[in-house]
Structure 1
């Protein structure tokens, strides 16, 4: 997730959000937030790989977050960046294919890449998983999934394709829809499309819209999921005061919190979830229910 994407999307759709500063003190009595492993437990294993899912499970973390993009031949893969340079050995395997965009490679080509050595020699040979492989691993551990649709403008129709893939893997049944799946994006249009295609799917908008605009988002988004540096107790309360599309107060999952002090601060604001690369650190910093 990138803060500039929040600014670009919010400005384009609803105007520039006001700067919100953290409250000087955490609010007492807030419920314990859900802890979500960002790109899996990405402090300890290469992000968005099956190893990162496994590590989150090993740490006892129920929720994992991932990023979905599309290959040249139309397969959905789990990768954060829109190019393959940072987290694979694509420059070595395909030296003449710069700028190494995901959309310019087939799924078979991407399957050849090492997605673990950049992180640690211990993970040499890890692969970029397909969405199907990823959700199957999450299912194996009986975990829950916060799925981000990345760069939807690059991949027309990715919302419907993602929902179809989830349905094919059994992730749109009542159990998953009730408590095990959230689909989010920095693009409000993409979140709206997901809601229109499958109204039962819980959705989240990544960003910090002005409080006065929250009712507009509540038509199609169950959550507002901002950077932790952009929120306050008052902003969290404003989100909770608005009823989302499923008749419940909107929720707020904040990102990316990796230290104990910040975890306790945002928990005091009353956030419903904390997205983190270090889920054990955040979990251990929070008071028990």
Structure 2
């Protein structure tokens, strides 16, 4: 065990009984992700949690327990807490720019209703990058983050590079943004994220859309890829043709499913990995050990 400890926010009420989980063997290849019910702990409520040497621990939307999700502040917080991997969500603006935002609309994590009161339903795709740059993306979380903005993917990549962090990039709602995969690849290339060192050790691209992941693999075969969901057992071999990871929600799988994934070799010839999401931070090590996860998104 690595004894290096980090300061992380305690997640209240997250006790989880592994034995009570109901295995679900069949999932939709086109499942969409909703907003997970995450508890925002008080900024002063912290606890020391040691990292294990394995599994990989990924900061979900940055260190979103202690900073507003998908912001540069969340990247900075992830670095301070000792995370090596950060997950984010990428969408596209009306003028074709790439921004880091989870929801299809801007209402939950910005003040868009006040700044643009007559632009309902306030979808990301209906605003230009310049308009989104005007929004406050931090006050909803805590007033001390009032100056935070929705970052562009380019800004996010620079901050990740500054901290030497690794990125699990999710293409969000790709069906709404035809061609977004090529634009993301171009952005990654321009920022130096498609060099050998990055694609081998520092980057994974994932999506709930199987076709989107296939497109990324076709555009950049060297990039590691993941499918978000839990395909049925009899379909796993077909996914192995273009992904390296199957990344399900914790409640949708069991240890037997993980073992089935591990029996396969992914598109780059290595054993397929499983990175589970919606894993509570305080219990991640016990859960990962029980299920055999290679990584957890917390």
Q: Give the aligned partner of residue 55 of structure 1.
A: 77
- The one of 96, 106, 114 aligned to 1:74: 96
Q: Give the aligned partner of residue 123 of structure 1.
A: 145
Q: Does 1:41 align with 2:63?
A: yes
Q: Does 1:256 align with 2:284?
A: no
Q: Give the aligned partner of residue 221 of structure 2.
A: 199
TM-score by length of 1: 0.85
- The one of 204, 208, 217 aligned to 2:230: 208
Give a deviation string over 1:122-142, Cα, whole Å, max 9, x none: 100100000000010000000
Q: Give the aligned partner of residue 253 of structure 2.
A: 231
Provide the rounded CA distance (Å) in 1 between the counterparts of 2:289 and 2:72: 29
Residue 267 of structure 1: how far off its partner (Å):
2.6
Residue 187 of structure 1: how far off its partner (Å):
0.2
Query: With CA pairs under 8 Å and 6+ residues apart, which has the higher RCO, 1 or 2?
Result: 1
Give unmatched runs, 5+ long, in structure 2. Answer: 1-25, 33-51
Residue 212 of structure 1: how far off its partner (Å):
1.6
Asked if 1 retains the 8 angstrom alpha-carbon contact of 2:288 and 2:294, the reply is no
Residue 265 of structure 1: how far off its partner (Å):
2.0
Residue 44 of structure 1: how far off its partner (Å):
0.3
Provide the rounded CA distance (Å) in 2 between the counterparts of 1:97 and 1:210: 41
Give a deviation string over 1:165-221, Cα, whole Å, max 9, x none: 000000000000110000000000000110011100000000001122110000001
TM-score by length of 2: 0.83
Give unmatched runs, 5+ long, in structure 1. Answer: 1-5, 13-29, 277-289
Matches within 5 A, 1:102-113: 102-113=124-135
- The one of 88, 96, 99 aligned to 2:110: 88
Provide the rounded CA distance (Å) in 1 between the counterparts of 2:263 and 2:28: 26
Q: Does 1:189 align with 2:217?
A: no
Q: Give the aligned partner of residue 245 of structure 1.
A: 267
